[in-house]
Amino acid sequence: MRVVIAEDLALLREGVVALLRENEIEVVAQVEDGPGLLRAIAGHQPDLAIVDVRLPPTFSDEGLRAAIEARRRQPALGVLVLSQYVETAYASELIGDNTAGIGYLLKERVGDVRAFLDALRRVADGGTVLDRQVVTQLLAPREGASDALTSLTAREREVLELMAEGRSNAAIAENLVVTAGAVEKHITNIFAKLDLGACEDDHRRVLAVLAYLRVARSAPS
């Protein structure tokens, strides 16, 4: 796997580069700003770009805009966006019409090394990985929210968050320290409560969840 990193903080960038090299992932370019990212992608044709949302010179959403532009130019490119905070508006902009090969994670997820590397590989392979906080934010208690969302139990919400991260049933079971059978039961309940057709494929599951949440978010009950 060939990776380009766009991150302006040297400390963090070097840490991620060291982590990737330790795990035999090739870092073909390290850049510090949006235009640099676009040049590096055009020059190196990587499989994956890891992009910080805030980059110089504006330090606003420069990285996000560069990532969206990079995907417009190369739809097959996997993009993993890292951010200090989760903003659902950014998630939906990033996903746009092309859901394949998208990741949106909080920066601190890099500390959970195995999960982070797993997320990298899934995004590079065309999967979708969303931070569990995206789900948390979408599910935040709010006036007028549909009964279906509030009817989820705490454990079901946890499962839903992990599903949004694109995890398999086995991974979810391991994470929550329960049996795979229990996870399956939770998922069946979630899909029933959210009125979604059950499906096995991890990627499609994420999208189904997202689609539901997006609809629930935009339409007043």
**Residues that bind other proteins in the complex, under the rule CB under 8 A:** 9, 11-12, 15-16, 18-19, 22, 54, 59-61, 84-85, 87-89, 107-108, 110-114, 116, 137, 140, 142-146, 216-221
Radius of gyration of the chain (CA): 18
Between residues 74 and 136, which has the closer beta carbon with respect to other proteins? Answer: 136
Return the number of other C-beta atoms located less than 10 Å from residue 139's C-beta.
18
Nearest to 107 by CA among 74, 63, 138, 70: 63
Q: Please give the helix or strand (H or E) that residue 80 lies within, else none.
A: strand 78-83
Residue 2's beta-bridge partner residues?
26
Between residues 116 and 191, which has the closer beta carbon with respect to other proteins? Answer: 116
Asked whether 130 and 91 are in contact (CB, 8 A), the reply is: yes
Min separation Cβ 11 and other proteins, Å = 5
Min separation Cβ 12 and other proteins, Å = 5
Between residues 131 and 202, which has the closer beta carbon with respect to other proteins? Answer: 131
Between residues 18 and 192, which has the closer beta carbon with respect to other proteins? Answer: 18
